[in-house]
Structure 1
Amino acid sequence: MTVLIDPPNWPGPRGLMWSHLVSDRSLDELHAFAVRLGVPTRAFDRDHYDVPETVHARAVELGAEAVSSRELLRRLVEAGLRRRKQHRPR
C-alpha cells in the first residue's frame, strides 16, 4: 500500500489547515484507506481527498507516508493518476 499525505498547509473550512491524501497505486487503494481513516466520500476531489489537520497524525499511524506537497504531486503524476480540473469554455 502506498498512500501519501502532504503537510496541512492549505487553509480551508472551519479555520483549519488541510492536507491532500492520495495513492500512487490506485484509486481503489485510496478509497479503501479513506474508509479506514473515516474520511467522508464528499472529501474526494478527482484524484485526492482533502483532509483536515486533525486527521493527519492518524493517517500516518494507519500507514500513510508523510511527504512534501511537491513529492506527493510528483508521485501522483508518475503513477498516471493525476486528474486535472476541466476548464469550461466561456
Structure 2
Amino acid sequence: MTVLIDPPNWPGPRGLLWSHLVSDHSLEELHAFAALLGVPARAFDRDHYDVPETVHARAVELGAEAVGSRELLRRLVAAGLRRRKRHGPVPG
C-alpha cells in the first residue's frame, strides 16, 4: 500500500514541470492522500493526479515514495489500476 510520485519532468500549465501521483493499492488511498496534500479533485485524470513541481517535496514528506516514471507505471499496471484513454468512438 503505497502512494508513488515520479519526478517533475512533464511540462505543463503556468510554466511548471509536473509529476504523476498514483497508488499501487487503491483509488481510495490515492484520493485520501491527494486531499491530505491539498491537491484539488480537478487534478485527477483516470488513474492519477497531475501535481506541480511545487508539491513534490511535500508529497514525499507526507509519505509518497519517489520513483522513476517507468517504475510508477509498472506498479500502477501491476496493481490493476491503470486506466488508459479511449481512442475513437465509444462502443454502444
Q: Same fold by TM (over 0.5)?
A: yes
Name the CA distance, whole Å, in 2 between partners of 1:8 and 1:25.
22
Q: Which letter does structure 2 place at the counterpart of 1:20?
A: H
**Residue 86 of structure 2 corresponds to which residue in structure 1?**
86
**Residue 21 of structure 2 corresponds to which residue in structure 1?**
21
Name the CA distance, whole Å, in 2 between partners of 1:88 and 1:29.
31
**Residue 58 of structure 1 corresponds to which residue in structure 2?**
58
TM-score norm. by structure 2 comes to 0.95
Name the CA distance, whole Å, in 2 between partners of 1:79 and 1:11.
27
- Matched position secondary structure for 2:88: coil
Question: Which deviations, in whole Å up to 9, do the C-alpha atoms of 1:10-69 show, x marking residues without a partner?
Answer: 000000000000000000000000000000000000000000000000000000000000
Cα displacement (A) at 1:88? 1.9
**Residue 71 of structure 1 corresponds to which residue in structure 2?**
71
Any runs of at least 4 consecutive aligned residues in structure 1 with deviations exceeding 3 A, and if so which? none
- Structure 2 residues without counterparts, runs of 5 or longer: none
TM-score norm. by structure 1 comes to 0.97
Matches within 5 A, 1:9-48: 9-48=9-48
The number of aligned residues is 89
Q: CA RMSD in A?
A: 0.6
- Matched position secondary structure for 1:19: strand
- Structure 1 residues without counterparts, runs of 5 or longer: none
Q: Aligned residues: percent identity?
A: 89
